[in-house]
A = this chain, B = another copy of it.
Amino acid sequence: MNATKQKILKVSLELFSRYGYSAVSIRDICRQVQIKESTVYYHFKNKQAILEELLARFEQTAEGMMSRLEQAILEEQERKETLPGTEKQNGMYEGFFEQYLMDGFCNQVMRLLSIEQFHDKNMQGLYDYWMFERPLGFQEKVFRLLMEAGILEKSDSAYLAVKFYGPIFVYAQRWLFSGSLSEERKNAFREAAYGYVKKFFREMGEAKW
């Protein structure tokens, strides 16, 4: 696709995710893209259309990632009939974190959503879905299947999902969705979150067997 349009999208997201949609002017965007303001309107109907294209792309990307993770983990569990917490499974979570939470594009859109969700119903819906409903729902499903397979003691799978997701969410918010996303902050998250995931599944194992 057109390089200029691509760059407009890139720069726009960079700025939107930092300052919020309305605090970023077309002028700001053009200054960085190195084009004149009128050029933007060749590629986009208006400012709003930039935002919409970004969100559309995000939903596609996020849906793809989420469903791929879901499928992979469920397949893995089904096939091996073993407890979670294997090296391979931990790696799956890690891969997902890297591509979803720490990837420039997704991270930025989610920052943007977290700014705009306070006044925009649509944004609020997306924010809730991708931050809470979808990940919690997925994790609950995983635990529920483990319970049904007798691998995990029967209990409230939703509660377990929140217990698992809570600390990850704290780490993510603190290191990945605060200030600017640097390599140091990513590492801080990795150390905290990856360690936590391992520990969690280890403890889960110990509790059962």
Contact = CB atoms under 8 A, between A and B. Distances in A.
Interface string A126-162: 0110011000100000000000000000000001001
Contact of A18 (B118, B171, B179): B118
B22 A178 contact: no
Contact of A173 (B23, B115, B167, B169): B169
A111 B115 contact: no
B118 A17 contact: yes
A18 to B, nearest CB: 5
Interface in A38-95: none
Interface centre among A22, A169, A170 (most CB of B within 10 A): A170
A20 B127 CA distance: 17
Interface of A: 17-20, 22-23, 111, 114-115, 117-119, 121, 124, 127-128, 131-132, 136, 159, 162-163, 165-171, 173-174, 178-180, 192, 196, 199
Interface centre among A111, A168, A169, A179 (most CB of B within 10 A): A179
B22 A174 contact: no
Contact of A22 (B19, B111, B171, B192): B19
A19 to B, nearest CB: 5
A5 to B, nearest CB: 17
Contacts of A170: 132, 136, 162, 165-166, 169
A99 B20 CA distance: 29
A169 B179 CA distance: 19
Given A132-B170, A136-B170, 14 more contacts: A20-B22, A20-B23, A111-B118, A115-B115, A117-B179, A118-B180, A127-B178, A128-B174, A128-B179, A131-B174, A132-B174, A159-B196, A162-B170, A163-B163
A118 B167 CA distance: 21
A111 B170 CA distance: 16
Contact of A163 (B127, B132, B159, B166): B166
Contacts of A192: 162
